[in-house]
Amino acid sequence: MAQVRNNQVILRNYVTGFPKESDMNIVESSITLNLPEGSNDVLIKNLYLSCDPYMRILMNKVEVFEGFPPFTPASPLGGFGVAKVLESGHSDYKKGDLIWGFTRWEEYSLVPSTQIFSKIEHTDVPLSYYAGILGMAGLTAYAGFFELGTPKKGENVFVSAASGAVGQLVGQFAKLSGCYVVGSAGTKEKVNLLKNKLGFDEAFNYKEEPDLNAALKRYFPEGIDIYFENVGGKTLDAVLLNLRSNSRIPVCGMVSQYNLIEPEGVKNLTNLIFKQVHMQGFLVTNYYHLYPKFLEYLLPYIREGKVVYVEDRAEGLENGPKALVGLYSGRNVGKEWRQKQIRKITNRVYEYVKIQPGTANLTFEDLYIAVLLVYNDINKLLPGPHFDPPSKDKVREIIKNCDINLDGEIDREEFFSFIQQMTADTFTYVSQKLIVTMVVAPTIAVATKRATEGVPGVGRVVQRLPNSVYATLVTVAAMWFQNMGQDS
């Protein structure tokens, strides 16, 4: 059989400190798409690769995880992923099977069958979930929270790196177990996501808290029963001051320490004695036997929409290094995707308004209508919580801030900045799977126009617009959402 191209992401050299994109290289290799004679291995096409913080540890020269040797310079990175079997030398797998397990960062891989974790039987959920919520990250959250955390109804749970793949699930498991749960994350968007989409009772931005101990006291006046540890360092030290007696700390990860040449010290460990705390590290690899039980527990919740999962995707192997490096600066959960989409909608709406007679730039009324349309669509078309549009005063305030050249109107760049600020809280809740076609948009337009009739100060403005203009605006918004779905 002919050889085909096999692009790979290789490690250039061992890493010290924070990883950089330049520590990895994209190289074009080739592979013959049939099994070597007598091989027991499995030839797979990689479909989704998971980008995980532990990968940085495997870039060290020394072995840290037993059974997980460091990556080898000039060879592809390894990691968990979802793949399709092209040929199999092992009787457990056959051509066409979908599997997830430990593979390499390349298009095609020849892997020993022992590296395959599981055949994928349930394909009514997105396949990519097996690289996250239904894969290694999901099982980690499940094993750590239920086996080590041993939650009881009414207990207080704190999760760090809460918007990450593991943390977001731990928070939802805690809610399903009847606990009170608070998460910490590193951006305002992530905090909003935790509270409004992922069902956390409270969340805070640890980067904006000058005193983490005081922040925890604010959210846990009666103390913490379970701390799901993902970050270590200063957060752990503050948690140690806020524990209840007999509390538990499943130590899942310490992402704040992985890139430090000299790890931070932890000062408050004596609390482990006084509070009789059970603090235990664990590796998901020792809990693989729980996988069938885990699927049985989680799949129904996913199907019923009672557990949701926010994925951050990078398209193409060539974007892998950037995504991996981004994990250590919190540059995940769709930040760049969001920028790209906002640029698209702002250009479209701006162009639309500009062709209206007599308008060079956008006026306050134009902008307020655009804001209402977007919120109307979000509330009408998306499952989940209702989002109140910002008040006119708020819009006015933001417009004032965005009117950089102070001419009382908003030009293209100012409009971009305006929409960015306007949607900062809302954008992360928008479902990436929404399909709205231009065919249904005009119907929605008429319905939404009617819906604004009784709204003081708003109805009048919207009613004055001819139906056709309103429908076009709604269509623009609908196309925006549709494109977001396609691009995600």
Residue numbers at the binding site for ligand NAP (CB under 6 A): 52-54, 137, 140, 161, 163-167, 185-187, 190, 230-231, 252-256, 282-284, 327-328, 330, 332
Residues 397 and 328: beta-carbon distance below 8 Å: no
Judged by beta carbon, residue 76 or residue 144, the one nearer ligand NAP is 144
Judged by beta carbon, residue 424 or residue 469, the one nearer ligand NAP is 424
Residue type, 144: G
Task: Compute the least distance from the CB of residue 140 to ligand NAP, in Å.
Answer: 4
Handedness of CA 191, 195, 199, 201 (dihedral sign): positive
Number of Cβ atoms within 10 Å of the Cβ of 119:
14
Task: Compute the least distance from the CB of residue 38 to ligand NAP, in Å.
Answer: 35
Tell me the two tokens of residue 451.
Answer: 């819906």
Task: Compute the least distance from the CB of residue 138 to ligand NAP, in Å.
Answer: 10
Task: Compute the least distance from the CB of residue 211 to ligand NAP, in Å.
Answer: 16
Residue 145 carries which DSSP code?
I
For 202-247, the DSSP string reads EEEEGGG-S-HHHHHHHH-TT-EEEEEBSS-HHHHHHHHTTEEEEE
Q: Is 109 helix (H, G, I), strand (E, B) or coil?
A: strand
First to last CA, the chain: 35
Task: Compute the least distance from the CB of residue 334 to ligand NAP, in Å.
Answer: 11
d(CA 488, CA 478): 15
Judged by beta carbon, residue 14 or residue 328, the one nearer ligand NAP is 328
d(CA 474, CA 84): 41
Task: Compute the least distance from the CB of residue 1 to ligand NAP, in Å.
Answer: 37
Torsion angle defined by CA atoms of residues 461, 463, 466 and 468, in that order, rounded to the nearest 10 degrees: 100
Instruction: Outline where 110-153 has alpha helix (H).
Output: 136-142
Non-local (6+) Cβ contacts of 207 within 8 A are: 186, 187
Judged by beta carbon, residue 161 or residue 243, the one nearer ligand NAP is 161
Owner of token pair 């604010």:
218
Judged by beta carbon, residue 332 or residue 452, the one nearer ligand NAP is 332
Task: Compute the least distance from the CB of residue 166 to ligand NAP, in Å.
Answer: 3
Judged by beta carbon, residue 320 or residue 390, the one nearer ligand NAP is 320
Judged by beta carbon, residue 54 or residue 364, the one nearer ligand NAP is 54
Task: Compute the least distance from the CB of residue 39 to ligand NAP, in Å.
Answer: 30
Residues 173 and 144: beta-carbon distance below 8 Å: no
Judged by beta carbon, residue 165 or residue 476, the one nearer ligand NAP is 165
**Starting from the edge strand earliest in sequence, which strands make up the sheet with 243-251, in order?**
202-205, 180-185, 156-159, 224-228, 243-251, 278-281
Judged by beta carbon, residue 330 or residue 459, the one nearer ligand NAP is 330
Beta bridge partners of 68: 65
Task: Compute the least distance from the CB of residue 323 to ligand NAP, in Å.
Answer: 9
The overall longest dimension of the chain from CA atoms, in Å, is: 77
Task: Compute the least distance from the CB of residue 418 to ligand NAP, in Å.
Answer: 25
Judged by beta carbon, residue 188 or residue 344, the one nearer ligand NAP is 188
Give the residue nearest to ligand NAP (CB).
253
- Nearest CA to 12 out of 63, 76, 62, 97 is that of 76
